[in-house]
Structure 1
Amino acid sequence: MNIRIKPLAALLPVLLSSPSGAVELLATLDPVIVAATRQPTRASELVADVSVIERKDIETASHAATLGELLSREAGIEFSREGGRGASESVFVRGTNTSHTLVLLDGLRVGSATLGTTALNTIPLSQIERIEIVRGTASALYGTDAIGGVINIITRSGKEAPRLELEAGGGSHGTYQTSAAHAGQFGDFRYALRVGADGSDGINAVRNRSSAAYNADRDGYAGDNLSLNLGYAPSKAFQVGGHYLQSRTETHYDASWPTANADWRNQHLLSSMGAFAQVQPLSFWQSTLRVGRGTDKSVNRPGSDFGVEKDSFVTIQDQFSWQNDFKLPVGNALLIAERLEQRVEASQSYALTERSINSLQLGWNGNYKAHRLQANVRHDANSQFGHKNTQTLGYGYQLADAWRIAAGYGTAFKAPTLNDLYYPNTPFVGVGNPSLQPEFARNREVALHFESNNHRASLTYFRNNVSNLIQWEETSPGSWFYTPKNVGQARIEGLTLQYRAQYGDWQVYGNLNYQDAENAETGKQLTRRAQQFATLGLTHRIGAFDWGGEWHGSGQRYDDAANTRELAGYGILNLHARYQLEKGVSLFARVDNLFDKRFEYARSSTTNYGNMGTVIFAGIRYTLK
């Protein structure tokens, strides 16, 4: 790959030259992050490439957005969807596959063990307090799947005086969104109960009439969700807590089976529940026990013309973790023992329905004078694939008060999913391959950071080589029958520039991304990944009024391994505003894709998927303390 560094490097001093009278950045621009080390650490003290989405970011800019759309604003993350909102969403972190990103909910795995991905469209933004994003290999911290990165979603809990929260909104395409919550803290006890519902009449997801899947209807969705979060902390040396989240959706989609122009329904249930107990036996030792279960259920049914269930898949992931943190004279150490059990219950027969992984991890991170260090090693004993060892090593150095550098090396692996291995032989779909081997990755990166009172900027170079890449391929052209193979190696190389600053009542942010994500065996670009994409935005506060705009653009992509189906590049402009009517009452509005740009996130060999076009959404929020 031939990346031009000069244009990006030239931008850095320009971005950093600002009025000396600019006010200090909000403290949230140097947030405390857990996901990068599994210990609370300031972002400026990390060597990993990280970012955080706070609740205030969600409330000011994302009332009508989905989780996938929200994540796509962040550096290094691309987004794809087959149709309108409510349809299945995918994100690609640093050019890796969707299944190469580990998604956690309150620190626990959530998603499908058959697909190896998480249904992001089923996780409502109303339930989220913050999102921590780690870019780069992280298997030495979390085990299988973390080849491209980790997304840790933290749900909302009660941390303030008890309050009632109500929110309702509506907009284009019959879109609606409602939520209600009561949350707060009484002495040592905290609680949060939240419920919500959302949906849309949708759009016709299939655009081309020539497709056998074309159906002249609107492919909408409807969903509901609830969560309960409890905690009890009588002292700093002891606390317990737990959470439960459930989200249900029903999405319409078009298909060409069992007859042309068929209308189908996907009913999806995603749930996560967990509990923890944390004690501090000694001043330098903290111990945490955590147990949890993630459930993903997907049922596909033909429309009323057929009226019978076609297939269903339920995957359950039971998790146990015992983490011990030690404060040392220099830095912090951790020792973690974990167990993961996965099983599938399906309407079709799988050759194997259960597997498990036992893990042991050691880690250390800390600062010494101008030096920053992080080291992690992990051993995973997989019931199918034996023993795997992974490592992460990072180093940073403070060059001057505002300038620092960081470099890292890490390895990661991903075990084949149960679908990859054992998907039942199904006409016009395919069959699994029990001979598959795990994917393995080696990642290298180096970064330059600038961090002052009113600016945050970074320039990161990364290179990730993935061997034994798993790819589903047609057994013969036009057969519509697929099977997975270890096709060789993917080589992913790129540069990312990030910037965020506060200028009085103005805040500006953005990221520019250049990458080459290719199959090293064929030289072809990996599907649905662009070589350039970017986000640029600003927000402004005038008394009780907040407003802002955001532009997001992407270069061309391909939707097939042979690079014959081109997806054209696009650029869209979004606007948002919020007005505080009185204490506890605010109005909000958002316009997505202001200029009604028409483009495709995805396309199959016979089907072109549409997008939402311009979407207007507005609502009201009420808080009573």
Structure 2
Amino acid sequence: MVMCKNLRNEWLQRFAHALIPLFLLLTGHAWAQIAPPPNYDQKLNDMVVNATRSGTPLDEMSLNTTILTKEVLESSPDQTIDQVLKNVPGVFLNDVPYYQKDPTGQSINVRGLGYGRTLVLIDGLPANDAFYGTVQWNLVPMSSIESVEFVRGGVSSLYGNYGMGGVININTKTPKNSSQDVSASIGSFGTGNVAASKDLIVSDVMQMRLSADYFSSEGFQNYATIYPASPSNTKGMTTDVTKNSNIRLQNYFKPTQDTNAFLRMGYSTMADLSNNFAIAPNLIQTADVAGGSTTNLDIDKKVQINAYYQATNFYKQTANSAGTYINANYTDPYSTIGASAQYTQDLKAAGIDQYIVGVDARNISASNTTNNLLSSGAVNSVNYAQGQQNFYGLLGQIKSNASAIPLETTLGARVDVWNSQTPTLYNAGSNGANPLYQSIPNKSKTQLSPSLGLVYKATDDLNLRTAAYQAFHAPSMNNTLRSYGNNTTGYSISNPNLTPETMTGYEIGTDYRWKSGFAQLTAFNNYIQNAITSYKITSANSAFAYGLCSASGIPISAQGCSTSGGFTNVSYYTNQQNLLSRGIELQYHQDVNANWALDGGYAYTRTVLTWSATTDPTNTQVGGVPMNMANAAITYYPVPQASLTTTVRYVGNSWMATGSLPVPAYAVVGLKANYQVTPQASVFASVVNLFNRQYVTFNIASQATAYQAGMPQAITVGARVTF
């Protein structure tokens, strides 16, 4: 098997090395025969940002906004949307693709505010995992994406929960004609993807799109590459094999002249391994359905109604530190149901150009069953918790364009009501015997999230903008319901008494757009009070640790605590800290001429705890947030049908834990070649980590064994055919 893998990787390297000269040869031959390229004038001013709920033109955005067009996505060497997004200033995603991470660790960190605090939408509907608050990126294969809108800053005045760091709206492809689309790719480490779609224009009032894809990878070893296990505890070590599948049906209707409606259904699965042990698998199965309509009541009035439902089953196992047996399994079934309604009117009178009012509601129901196992396979202890969270929101927004001066004002406010109920939570001994029930009081909070945005059009090309906002974020049910062990000596204790955190922030920036490019510069300041984080208990708090273990009712040995009051590695979720994040973001694009284009980005982020009741130091850069990050790209267009892009990603020094476990700076080079053979067929070749640099990528962790190796050299070749 190893020999086959080596032969395959060698073949891929030879193929890619041969493809690039061939690519240049083909394009060079075609150069004299094909008409000059089209006008490269930037069209971003004409783009509308749907993530604002009011269809705001890009040049009227008061928050720092980036749009990843189809061309940008196609020129990236990275093959998954999370790895494409990691190159956008303000995004903190490390150089390990989602499929090499545990599903509970797949998320996105914006502006150093922490994971799980940014809303991700697919075609305007929430895509954040209902239980973990993470983002299951496998739900969004690259073959289905048309464009991505990324709005930084607090958007809780529009969306409530998860709107603390911003919103990412992924727009998928819609039916264009009755055609078929097939794409396939194969790459290093047995990584392959096959996708197919069928567009069907039934009539003027009905369109359909059916898409399906399958992704698999044999993965690469990350942890063991840096900290090799000793000969006595290597049993079960393997690469993180993963398999994902998706099927999606999109239906679009026009029942009347004034109404457009949609119905979407999907089913996905993802299977991979827990902490790199072949005997400990993860399996996620998700089914979802969403529908809605937009009705124009008049030329300047419309009503939008949406509803969605998602059901997920997550089954997870973990192995002991030696990988010799399963020491725990977890079953997490959960579902979310939600609906929203919005009224929009364009007034163009009395100083008000537009106003919107909306209401929405969402319910999350979940349970967790944890079985802690002995080496014999017998159940040593059981944790069980069941609960639900409810979200209700009422929002309003007014837009005004002053006539005396070129100043656009957006004023919004939203009231959110959150409540959490944990009616059942108990800990039991062997095989569930002698359960000890805990009485958890209901939790609730009402939060006002106002926002004010100003855009001053200094010239036709130059905008000055500023925004101030307040946002909130509720604890995930993973934090409140699931206590879990990560090896034989570590244990994380849930806290059903957690409450939402609140952020206040502001930013100021400028956008300059000219015929062949744009530049954006933004400075921001965000402050989170009662931030939710995991508190690592130290020897100074051994009595506290022992009290937590005793109160939980779980046998002391199952939680890593000793009967004398000590412990080995126990963590606990709390609201007992405040977080301050400040920084600047710069993004640049320039079409030098018809053949060359330049891109660049830079982010400086200073994120510290200003107060903490935990052992984490204050006024020290927090773990997992590099202070300096930069990226650059050069794209060469020999002909309009071809492109060759070289990228460089730089990540500065960082810490894994606040003030400890340093991660050195690194830079990685990528390469992507595209060639449109015919209007219906195209091929590509990409290389991630072109020079196969070995490095440690930034991460959040509390122990040295959690260091992660960045993505090694990975070559991918693929093709797409439309017919």
- Tell me if both proteins adopt one fold, taking TM over 0.5 as the criterion: yes
For residues 630 and 656 of structure 2, the distance between their equivalents in structure 1, rounded to whole angstroms, comes to 20
Provide the residue aligned with 1:338 in structure 2: 360
Give the alignment partner of residue 71 of structure 1, picking from 74, 78, 85.
85
Match 1:217 to one of 216, 221, 238: 238
> Which one is further off, 609-618 or 123-132?
123-132
* 1:391-443 Cα shifts (integer Å, max 9, x gaps): 11011111122112001100001112223233347683222223323211011
1:575 to 664, 667, 671: 671
SS, match of residue 280 in structure 2: strand
Aligned partner of 1:4 in structure 2 is: none
Give the direction of change, closer, same or farther, for the CA distance of 1:551–1:621 in structure 2 (3 Å limit): same
Aligned partner of 1:86: which letter?
Answer: Q
Specify whether residues 508 and 609 from structure 1 end up closer, same or farther in structure 2 by C-alpha distance, changes over 3 A only: same
TM-score by length of 2: 0.78
Q: C-alpha separation between the residues in 2 aligned to 1:524 and 1:308? A: 36
Contact 2:506 2:526 in 1 (8 A): yes
**Does the alignment pair 1:58 with 2:88?**
no
Shift of 1:484: 0.8
Contact between 2:116 and 2:134, CA under 8 Å: does it hold in 1?
A: yes
AA partner of residue 580 (structure 2): R
What amino acid is aligned across from residue 400 of structure 1 in structure 2?
T
1:336-383 deviation line (CA, Å, top 9, x unaligned):
010010111332455541121111100122433411111110011112
Q: CA deviation at 1:610?
A: 2.2
Secondary structure of residue in 2 paired with 1:173 = helix
Aligned twin of 1:179: 195
Report the 3-state secondary structure (helix = DSSP H, G, I; strand = E; otherwise coil) of the residue aligned with 2:82.
Answer: helix
Measured after TM superposition, the shift of residue 245 of structure 1 is 2.9
How much has 1:203 moved relative to structure 2? 1.0
Change over 3 Å in CA distance of 1:23–1:214 after alignment to 2: farther
Amino acid in structure 2 at the alignment position of 1:531: M
Tell me how far 1:82 sits from its aligned partner.
6.3
* CA distance in structure 2 between the partners assigned to 1:344 and 1:280 by the alignment: 38
Instruction: Report the equivalent of 2:266.
Output: 245
What's the CA shift for 1:279?
1.1
Say whether 1:453 aligns with 2:515: yes
The 1:290/1:350 distance shift into structure 2, 3 A limit, reads: farther
Note if 1:381 corresponds to 2:417: yes
Name the aligned partner's letter for residue 267 of structure 1. L
In structure 1, how many angstroms separate the alpha carbons of the residues matched to 2:168 and 2:310? 16
> Which residue is 1:533 aligned to?
629
1:199 is matched with: 216
Correspondence for 1:611 = 710
Match of 2:562 in 1: none
Aligned position for 1:316: 335
Show the 5 A alignment for 1:65-214. Answer: 65-80=79-94, 85-88=99-102, 89-158=106-175, 160-185=176-201, 186-206=203-223, 207=225, 208-210=227-229
Aligned ranges 1:586-625 → 2 under 5 Å: 586-601=682-697, 602=699, 604-605=702-703, 606-624=705-723
Q: Which amino acid aligns with 2:131?
A: T
**In the alignment, what sits opposite 1:439?**
501
Q: What aligned pairs does 1:492-531 form with structure 2 within 5 A after superposition?
A: 492-505=581-594, 506-521=596-611, 522-531=618-627
Which residue of 396, 405, 426 maps to 1:362? 396
Structure exhibiting the larger radius of gyration computed from Cα positions: 2
Output the aligned Cα RMSD: 2.5
Look up the match of 1:411. 470
Separation in 2, partners of 1:109, 1:295: 13
> What amino acid is aligned across from residue 280 of structure 1 in structure 2?
N
Q: What is the deviation of 1:301?
A: 3.3
Call closer, same or farther: CA 1:29–1:267 in 2, change over 3 Å: farther
Corresponding residue number in structure 2 for 1:5: none
- Corresponding residue of 1:46: 61
- Name the CA shift for 1:127/1:214 in 2 (closer, same or farther; >3 Å): farther
What per-residue deviation string (whole Å, max 9, x for no partner) do you get for residues 494-520 of structure 1? 011111122332222221111101111
Closer, same or farther in 2 for the Cα pair 1:366/1:502, shift >3 Å?
farther
Please give the secondary structure, in 2, of the residue aligned with 1:70: helix
> TM-score, with normalisation over the residues of structure 1?
0.90
Q: Say yes or no: does 1:551 pair with 2:658.
A: no
Q: Which stretch shifts more, 506-515 or 390-399? A: 506-515
| Counterpart residue identity of residue 611, structure 1 | G
1:11 counterpart residue number: none
Equivalents in 2 of 1:225, 1:262: separation in Å? 24
Deviation at 1:335, TM superposition (A): 0.6
Contact 1:193–1:227 (CA<8 Å) still a contact in 2? Answer: yes
Q: Is the 8 A contact 1:81 1:90 kept in 2?
A: no
Q: Which deviates further from its counterpart, 501-510 or 488-497?
A: 501-510
Q: Verify the 8 A CA contact 1:171 1:617 in the aligned structure 2.
A: yes
Structure 2 gaps of 5+ residues are 1-37, 371-382, 420-442, 540-566, 612-617
Distance 2:473 2:144 in 1: 29
What SS does the corresponding residue of 2:247 show, helix, strand or coil? strand
Aligned residue type for 1:194: S
CA contact (8 A) 1:491 1:519 kept: yes
Distance 1:542 1:398, change over 3 A: same
**Counterpart residue number, 1:14:** none
| Equivalent in the alignment of 1:9 | none
Cα shift readout 1:297-356 (whole Å, capped 9, x = no counterpart): 321136897689811212212110001111111421111010010111332455541121
Tell me how far apart the structure 2 counterparts of residues 455 and 355 of structure 1 sit (CA, whole Å): 45
Q: Secondary structure at the match of 1:575?
A: strand
Deviates more, 1:480-489 or 1:589-598: 480-489
Q: Does 1:420 align with 2:442?
A: no
Distance 1:214 1:155 in 2: 43
Q: Label 1:42 to 1:425 Cα distance change in 2 as closer, same or farther (>3 A).
A: closer
Displacement after TM superposition at 1:530 (Å): 0.8
Amino acid at match of 2:514: S
Q: Say how many residue pairs are matched.
A: 595
Cα distance, 1:549 vs structure 2: 1.3
Pairwise CA distance, 1:269:
2.8
Change (3 A) 1:492 1:77: same
Aligned equivalents of 2:45, 2:693: Cα separation in 1: 32
Say whether the 8 Å CA contact 1:33–1:132 is kept in structure 2. Answer: yes
Give the structure 1 partner of residue 344 of structure 2: 325
SS of the residue aligned with 2:129? coil
Query: Could you say if the C-alpha distance between residues 482 and 99 of structure 1 is closer, same or farther in structure 2, counting changes exceeding 3 Å?
Result: same
- Secondary structure of the corresponding residue to residue 162 of structure 1: coil
Deviation at 1:121, TM superposition (A): 4.5
Question: After superposition, what is the alpha-carbon deviation per residue over 1:417-476, rounded to whole angstroms, capped at 9, x for unaligned?
Answer: 223233347683222223323211011100111122222111111000111011112223
Q: Kindly provide the amino acid, as one letter, of the partner of residue 309 in structure 2.
A: R
Which residue does 1:565 correspond to in 2? 661
Distance 1:248 1:504, change over 3 A: same
> 1:99 & 1:49 partners in 2: Cα distance?
20
Change beyond 3 A, Cα 1:168–1:29: farther
